[in-house]
Structure 1
Amino acid sequence: MRRPAAVFTAVLLLLATLAACSDEPDRAPRALWQPRPGLTWQWQLDGKVDPSVDVPVYDIDGFENGAADVARLHRDGRKVICYINVGAWEDYRPDRKAFPRSVLGGPNGWHGERWLDIRQVAVLRPLMERRFDMCRDKGFDAVEPDLVEGYANDTGFPLTANDQLRYNRMIAEIAHERGLAVGLKNDLAQIPQLLDHFDFAVNEECAQYDECALLEPFVASGKAVFHVEYAEPTGRFCPQARQLRLSSMLKKPELGTWRKPC
């Protein structure tokens, strides 16, 4: 039989442990947002966000907008997606010097941008983790990782489809570890392999290239497809978009505030 003194000591140790645990911050993961098909949205990557558009979802630049901008949209009842480029280096971002020259490839057609060597996951993962930390810390609900189909472009590196699958799954994992939903941007050919890893899709110009049907697996899984066209008139793509339950609108390529939804 345990002696009373030993019991007393054990109780003290238990109380001390409980007190220490109560002082720790709540680390329970927040519920992951799952955007459903048909949600209307605004996509504004040109400068600070204009919060005047009455839609439930905003997709805005993660660097150009701060926690106060996200909080303002949340007060208005909106969910907010953090745009982050994960496939190319940008010479105008504050973390540009953190990228070693070994991962920088050829230009991607946008001023000041160069493709990244996505095979170098050990180098790129911590850089992307810090970017997604920023999205989380500013209060975003999700991330839109851009340029996740480098394998289909002339990047300056011999990237393969398997390289892209590994990298894209890593990107989704980084987002989910931070309680952020994550969207698959374009990369239509790899939807079958990536559908289970991503919570929604973001697509550009599937109607112009007659590819919108390839996005049906997302909708069938109850996941939103946020879709824009730049050149096609709404009368040409909106009927199919409504039939497929896409969240579609016409935008100008600079992605300012102007929009014409279906």
Structure 2
Amino acid sequence: MFPRPVWAALAVVAFCGACAPAAPPVPVIPPAKAAFDYQLGGAYPPPAGVQVVSRDHSAPAAPGLYNICYVNAFQAQPGTEEEWDELVLRDANGEPIIDEDWNEALLDVRTPAKRERVAAKVNGWVDDCAARGYQAIEPDNYDSYTRSHDLLTAEDAQAFIRLLSAHAHEKGLAVAQKNTAELAGRHEANGLDFAVAEECGEQDGCDEYTSAFGDHVLVVEYTDAGLTHACDRWGGSLSIVRRDRDVTPAGSPGYVRETC
């Protein structure tokens, strides 16, 4: 016969074997019209009054704020193509497909097997985001299919982002839709909870996001004209910030941050 402590432990194990697994934490989206800062080029102390900040996944979260963790999910950072190897999207001649604006190779998410492999690496960053205390992720370049010379499709992009959003939600993280207004109407099916929209004021297109996400849209502008138009049209309801295009840290040459 087992000693009493062992018997009691076995009874607990037997009982809990029928218990349902603990539910994952419920993701929380950023508050609407919150003061926002976009710090992808390097972390710095947020300006007074800021409630929401987006930073690269390599940076620590800002204490006491709502933190969004940026991950370059659909393209390779410059100089990292070898790390991705055959997961880089290539043309018929074997040449990588490059986003010329940022000198970033597109990642190949055309097949379920490749999507799973790319997601495994990106989701490792997502795990780091959760461990660092972030509340959400911002997977960038969702629209890479529009630069793929027709090698990628919108369906490929959506199938891939669903892998990321499902994993992030399991970790208790909300997921931003980055740009890609043409897919905003599919955000619920793709597990996307709020939007980060660059230059929708400049392009007079913020309504494409608000029609899907309501007031849960964070707007980033890079010109005076874009900021002015965004503030005139949506300043009463959306979070809006103007940054310099390189999103440099405060104190750096070229640093710009303005709000409505």
Q: TM-score range by the shorter chain?
A: 0.7 to 0.9
**Is the 1:195–1:217 Cα contact (8 Å) retained in structure 2?**
no
Q: How far apart are the structure 2 equivalents of 1:19 and 1:160?
A: 49
The answer for the alignment partner of 1:118 in structure 2 is: 109
Asked if the contact 1:83/1:144 (under 8 Å) is kept, the reply is: yes
> 1:247 maps to what in 2?
239
- Residues 1-262 of structure 1 correspond to what in structure 2 (within 5 A)? 13-16=7-10, 18=12, 29-63=24-58, 65=59, 69-70=60-61, 73-74=62-63, 77-92=64-79, 97-104=82-89, 105-110=96-101, 112-119=103-110, 120-153=114-147, 155=148, 158-195=151-188, 197-220=191-214, 224-233=216-225, 234-243=227-236, 245-256=237-248, 257=250, 258-262=256-260
How big is the alpha-carbon RMSD for the aligned residues of Structure 1 and Structure 2?
2.8
* Whole-Å separation in 2 of the counterparts to 1:85 and 1:204: 15
Contact preservation (8 Å) 2:219, 2:241? yes
One-letter amino acid of the counterpart of residue 209, structure 1: Q
Residues 242 and 112 (structure 1 numbering): CA distance in 2 closer, same or farther, change over 3 Å?
A: closer
Kept in 2: contact 1:49–1:60 (CA 8 A):
no
Displacement after TM superposition at 1:98 (Å): 4.1
Alpha carbons of 1:144 and 1:215: their partners in 2 closer, same or farther (altered >3 Å)? Answer: same
Equivalent-residue separation in structure 1 for 2:139 and 2:86 (angstroms) = 21
Q: Given residue 132 of structure 1, which amino acid in structure 2 is its aligned partner? A: V
| Inter-partner Cα distance in structure 2 for 1:34 and 1:49 | 23
Cα 1:51–1:232 change in 2 (3 A) is closer
Q: Deviations over 1:108-151 (max 9, x none)?
A: 12555211112221221211121111111212111111000112
Secondary structure at 2:12 match in 1: helix
- Compare the two structures and name the one with the higher helix fraction: 1
What are the superposed Cα offsets for residues 5-53 of structure 1, whole Å, 9 maximum, x if unpaired? Answer: 8xx88995343453897xxxx9663331122321111101112333344
| 1:91 Cα deviation from its structure 2 partner | 3.9
In the alignment, structure 2 segments of 5+ residues that lack a partner are 90-95, 251-255
Shift in CA distance, 235/52, structure 1 to aligned 2, threshold 3 Å: closer
SS in 2 for 1:37: coil
What is the aligned length?
Answer: 238
Residue 149 and residue 17 in structure 1: after superposition, are their counterparts in 2 closer, same or farther (change >3 A)? farther
Alignment-mate amino acid for residue 235 of structure 2: R
Same amino acid, percent of matched pairs: 27
8 Å Cα contact 1:35/1:199 also seen in 2: no
- Distance, in Å, in 1 between the alignment partners of 2:172 and 2:197 is 23
What is the one-letter code of the residue matched to 1:231?
T
Return the TM-score normalized by structure 1.
Answer: 0.80
Conserved? CA contact 1:87–1:148, under 8 Å: yes
TM-score by length of 2: 0.80
